[in-house]
Copies of this chain bind each other. A is one copy, B any other.
Amino acid sequence: MQFTIRRDAETPIYRQIVDQVRAGIATGDLPRGARLPPVRQLALDCGVTRLTVHSAYAELQAEGLLESYVGRGTFVASTAETLPAPSSKEPIAWEGRSIVASLMRHGDRPGIISFVQAFPARETYPVSELEAALHEAMADPDVLGYGHTQGDPLLRAEVATLLAQRGITASPDDLLVTAGAQQAIDLILRAFTAPGDVLLVEEPTYPGVLELATRSGQRVVGIPNDDGALRIHALEAACLAERARLLYLVPTFSNPTGRSLDSPSREAVLRIAARHDLLVVEDDTYGFMPFDRPASPALRSLDVDGRVLTITSFSKMLAPALRLGTVVARGDLLASLATVKGASDLVCSAVLQRALALYLRAGHLPGHSRRTAALYAERRDALLGALERHMPGCTWMLPEGGLNLWLTLPGGIDEAGVANDALAAGVAVTPGAAFFPRRRPHGSFRLSYGALDPDRIEEGIALLARVLQDHLRMQGRVAPFGAGGPLV
């Protein structure tokens, strides 16, 4: 492989080397196990310092693309990813950078039973209460103006009160109103990270954060989450190896697993965050949506030095079209976030903010939450029943809240292949790869079931099971129906 260094480019030379190696691996020009030129040699060839080449190799090694052995040299890692070979069938664009857009798109196809989007059920939208709140809000024409960058003071006061249910003590001044959780994550990344920074996430995690981190040139390091037990040693090791600034978690009713982080993990996260001066982003989108038992208090309730930023969203628990969420953060952090909010889109809609504030003040939320929890629990149970009846050789986690279930296929089954064939058969699921920083397949699916009634759930899982049976049969394996079971 030939390296081409442009000295007049704005891109630093070490970055040019990194980019060219990465491109070589992706295209197969540098296959797994290929030997890279020695540092000294490449420095001489390119007319750069050895330090420059060394920096480039070190970065690629940290990403897992290269491996170095003392005395032997530097090689493309045996686990480095190359571009997938083009599929003969019409492939689903799960890969690439626009995974969020893909998620939004694929479930929209007419006639498809979609487990793809973590949508709430349309029949739960509190139409008449919100309309009454909008009517009341518009009695003051100022709500059609810009309002405050930080958000409507009335809404912030109502949310501050609501957060007490999550164990969070916050004043209205501690809150910034955002366009849902996705914008909250975006603002946090824009305010507190720079390209090249390391972002720590649990694995599996919410794809929206991976999309943003990739777009802004950050390196994402995954910390395995084994059904609520975060691998603390891996977190500690990552903090020692990388100068990470942020750790992103969905500690309560995780997206994609519906399971919560256990107490020892919560305490360990805060301990390690303090030791390594990490900010912890707590995405509490599902924290108000428990099924059987109350949710664990928010991670922030244990936070003594203001390093946890907690995101709340009204998209799932009330209605996505509100486009409203909040971030609780320490004063200095909140000021930075508000500045980025102003630059991004000035403000959230004042009229929607006021309507939500009036809805909350009228006391509608508790009844709504009870009704929706019952509905989603019924759908979860329908899903669990369908999985037990139909899914051959699979395991799954029992969701404790939220809208998602994590299904693991029998070993050796190609998740993308099943997902593609399932789509052709009329059912859409999200392949597990979408939830991992490296986008490697993990033989898993996320099933989002909130927007499907029990009959559609049954029908969809039966279809999915037939596709999986076909795949097992193609491999010469036959698993009996009903052979799987819940992991927990």
Copies assembled: 2
The stretch among A28-36, A94-102, A247-255, A359-367 that forms the contact with chain B is A94-102
Contact B146 A122 (CB under 8 A): no
Q: How far apart are the CA atoms of A12 and B211 in the complex, in Å?
A: 25
Contact with B along A299-333 (1 / 0, CB 8 A): 00000000000000001000111110000000000
**Which single member of B101, B105, B130, B346 contacts A180 (CB below 8 Å)?**
B346
Contact with B along A45-62 (1 / 0, CB 8 A): 000110100000000000
Q: How far apart are the CA atoms of A325 and B123 in the complex, in Å?
A: 29
Query: A82 at interface (Cβ–Cβ under 8 A)?
Result: no
With CB as the reference atom, state the residue of chain B lying closest to A8.
B55
Query: A264 at interface (Cβ–Cβ under 8 A)?
Result: no
**Which single member of B180, B339, B349, B352 contacts A97 (CB below 8 Å)?**
B339
Contact A345 B183 (CB under 8 A): yes
**Which single member of B117, B123, B347 contacts A323 (CB below 8 Å)?**
B347
Q: Which A227-253 residues have a C-beta within 8 angstroms of B?
A: 243
Hey, which chain B residues are within 8 Å of A321, CB to CB? Answer: 143-147, 349-352
Hey, which chain B residues are within 8 Å of A146, CB to CB? Answer: 104, 117, 119, 315, 320-321
Contact A144 B320 (CB under 8 A): yes
Q: Distance in Å from the Cβ of A337 to the closest Cβ of chain B? A: 11
Query: A15 at interface (Cβ–Cβ under 8 A)?
Result: yes
Q: How far apart are the CA atoms of A178 and B344 in the complex, in Å?
A: 11
Contact A348 B320 (CB under 8 A): no
Query: A276 at interface (Cβ–Cβ under 8 A)?
Result: no
Contact A349 B346 (CB under 8 A): no
Contact with B along A100-119 (1 / 0, CB 8 A): 11001100100000000101
Place the interface of chain A in its size category.
35 or more
Contact A319 B104 (CB under 8 A): no
Contact B186 A345 (CB under 8 A): yes
Query: A368 at interface (Cβ–Cβ under 8 A)?
Result: no
Contact A141 B117 (CB under 8 A): no
Q: Distance in Å from the Cβ of A245 to the closest Cβ of chain B? A: 11
Q: Distance in Å from the Cβ of A224 to the closest Cβ of chain B? A: 25
**Which single member of B123, B131, B145 contacts A319 (CB below 8 Å)?**
B145
Query: A10 at interface (Cβ–Cβ under 8 A)?
Result: yes
**Which single member of B14, B104, B120, B182 contacts A12 (CB below 8 Å)?**
B14
Contact B144 A130 (CB under 8 A): yes
Hey, which chain B residues are within 8 Å of A339, CB to CB? Answer: 97-98, 101
Q: How far apart are the CA atoms of A379 and B141 in the complex, in Å?
A: 20
Known: A211-B343, A345-B180. A144 touches B101 (CB 8 A): no
Q: Distance in Å from the Cβ of A358 to the closest Cβ of chain B? A: 14
Hey, which chain B residues are within 8 Å of A197, CB to CB? Answer: 10
Known: A215-B343, A350-B321. A122 touches B142 (CB 8 A): yes
Listed by A's residue number, 29 A-B pairs whose Cβ atoms lie within 8 Å are A12-B12, A49-B49, A97-B339, A98-B343, A101-B342, A104-B146, A108-B148, A120-B145, A127-B138, A131-B135, A143-B321, A147-B320, A179-B179, A179-B345, A180-B346, A182-B344, A182-B345, A183-B345, A190-B215, A208-B343, A211-B342, A211-B343, A212-B343, A215-B343, A320-B347, A323-B348, A323-B349, A349-B349, A352-B352
Other A-B contacts than A212-B343, A344-B344, 8 sampled, CB-CB below 8 A, are A12-B15, A48-B49, A119-B146, A120-B145, A127-B141, A131-B138, A146-B321, A182-B346
